[in-house]
Amino acid sequence: MKILVAWDQPEQLDLLQVYLGLGDHEISWAATPDELLALAEAQPLDVVLMPITLPDVELGYQVFTKLRSLRPDTPVVGVCEPQEVFRIVRFMTSGMSAYMIRDANSDYLFMLLSVLEATVEAAQAQREQEIVKHLREEIAAVRKLQETMIPPLIDAPRGYQMCARYEPSQLRVMGGRPVTMAGGDYYDVFNLDDNNIVFLVGDASGHGMKAAMSIMIMHTLVRMIRTQVYKDTAAFVAAINNQLVEQTIVNEEGGFITLLYAILRLDKHEIQWTSAGHPLPLLQNLDTGEIRPLADGDPSGLPLAIMPGAEYETITSPLPPHCRVLLYTDGLAEAFPAGSDEGVNQFGETGIIRTLQASTKLSISGAMEQLFHDSNEFTQGFGRHDDTSVVLVERLKV
């Protein structure tokens, strides 16, 4: 701890040096106001100790205000005589952190080091709270921008039902209050024309501001170039990839985005889709209870923004009557309890399938709610560490 001491009672200096010398502290000494201000300006400090009479209360206050101007983040502890306690109010209202009263026997000297240490700890805690507050404000601003990308309502065409949901991750900080994080998950649903509906879910690597900004860039590109010029989903994903490769905010430090891009062809009741390193959609037959990936093997291509010219595969999957298709990001599957091995003990595709099977009789919105509930319950109160996006589509019975 770096302590700057200004003292106006020379006879106490030896004793004061002994008391403040306990512990690994660096102490600087000043005998006059000019020395105090010069030392405060010349070096970093953790705390300042000064009498309010340096050499009188009025000049002491002027020195204190100059000191606060030089070192606004450094706490100051004042010392005063018993008859001057009423004068300390002026100092405290101007930012003095703490004060001590000089008793006749100078017993207060025993307590000075403890008071200084406690004052520094309190100042550090206050700074941390301010940082957390600033963090919350910044994240809230990014999240509000992020939320504007997510469609508030999804209108299903005749013969279908649809719902989607995004839920951010949370980080617990000082005081146990969670900070709702900005993240890199994203979904979108929009019409290309009266016969083609686009579904997509994306997930930028990492967490926080960079991931959120990466997904915003991709969203902007998708909305800019969406057109029927791209005859299949693979061509569209390849075009997005070639654009994202040039975006350093996305791919710096090994960053990338996984994407599942799908088009529902209403006239043929089929989904044409392409995966760029993303979890495969699941198809649920509501009559037989069978649940399986929409494709055999692993047709996923490279995640986006890794390599220009990457090639992707177009898969076409028929949708039988009375079925559901689930598109999701890995935050749903990778939920795990605190203290467990996240690579082994996860909710996983097994948990997703189990919930879907148990939700057959529920409405599509009820099944969505159950997926989020069961995934979160699996963490035993720890909560999902990653943000999560889910799109659920149901073809009704003929």
For residues 158 and 154, what is the distance between their CA atoms, to the nearest angstrom?
13
DSSP 152: S
- The overall average pLDDT reported for the chain is 87
Structure tokens at 359: 């939700």
CA 44 to chain CA mean position, Å: 31
In the chain, alpha helices (H) = 13-20, 33-42, 57-70, 88-93, 112-147, 208-225, 233-244, 248-251, 330-333, 348-358, 364-378
pLDDT for the residue numbered 173: 47
Is residue 353's pLDDT more than 90?
A: yes
What lies within 8 Å, CB to CB, of 205 at 6+ separation is 184, 211, 214, 254, 255, 256, 257, 258, 303
Long-range contacts, 373-382 (Cβ 8 Å, 24+):
374/347, 375/332, 375/333, 375/335, 375/347, 375/351, 376/335, 378/335, 378/336, 378/337, 378/347, 378/351, 379/335, 379/336, 379/337, 379/338, 379/347, 380/337, 380/338, 381/338, 382/336, 382/337, 382/338
Question: Quick one: tokens of 91?
Answer: 């100092």
Q: What are phi and psi of 165, to 5 degrees?
A: -155, 140
Statement: residue 331 has pLDDT above 70: yes
pLDDT for residue 211 is more than 90: no
Q: Go through the domains of the chain in sequence order and give each one's CATH number.
A: 2-126 (3.40.50.2300), 149-395 (3.60.40.10)
Q: Which residues of 139-152 are buried (b: 16+ CB within 10 A; e: fewer)?
A: beebbeebeebbee
Residue with tokens 């070096």: 43
The model scores a pTM over 0.85: no
Q: Annotate 160-188 with DSSP letters as a single string.
A: EEEEEEEE--EEE-GGGPEEEPP-SEEEE
> What residues pair up with 165 in beta bridges, in sequence order?
390
- What span, in angstroms and rounded, lies between the C-alpha atoms of 391 and 190? 12
3-12, 122-131, 211-220, 353-362, range with greatest mean pLDDT: 353-362
**330, two tokens:** 């890995």
* pLDDT above 50: residue 226: yes
- Among 14-23, 49-58, 319-328, the range scoring the smallest mean pLDDT is 14-23
Is residue 5 within 8 Å of 49, Cβ to Cβ? yes
Task: Check whether 293 has a pLDDT greater than 70.
Answer: yes
Residue type, 100: M
With bands split at pLDDT 50, 70 and 90, how would you rate the model's confidence at 215? Answer: confident
Render pLDDT for 354-386 as a digit per residue (tens, 0 to 9): 999 999 999 999 999 999 999 989 888 777 778
Indicate the pLDDT class of residue 343, thresholds 50, 70 and 90. Answer: low
Q: Encode pLDDT of 158-209 as tens digits.
A: 999 999 999 887 554 444 555 555 578 889 999 888 899 999 999 998 777 7
pLDDT by residue (tens digit) across 244-289?
A: 999 888 888 889 999 999 999 999 999 999 999 999 999 999 999 8
Residues 6+ apart with CB under 8 A from 119: 47, 75, 77, 97, 98
Which one-letter DSSP state was computed for residue 343? T
Answer yes or no: is pLDDT of 314 > 90: yes
Contact 212, 184 (CB under 8 A): yes
Averaged pLDDT, 217-235: 83
Residues counted in the chain: 398
Among the listed ranges 70-79, 86-95, 143-152, 188-197, which one has the minimum average pLDDT value? 143-152
d(CA 379, CA 375): 7
Model confidence pLDDT, tens digit, residues 130-159: 877 777 676 676 667 667 777 877 889 999
Position with higher pLDDT, 323 vs 129: 323
Give dist(CA 323, CA 304) in Å, integer.
30
Asked whether residue 224 carries a pLDDT value surpassing 70, the answer given is yes
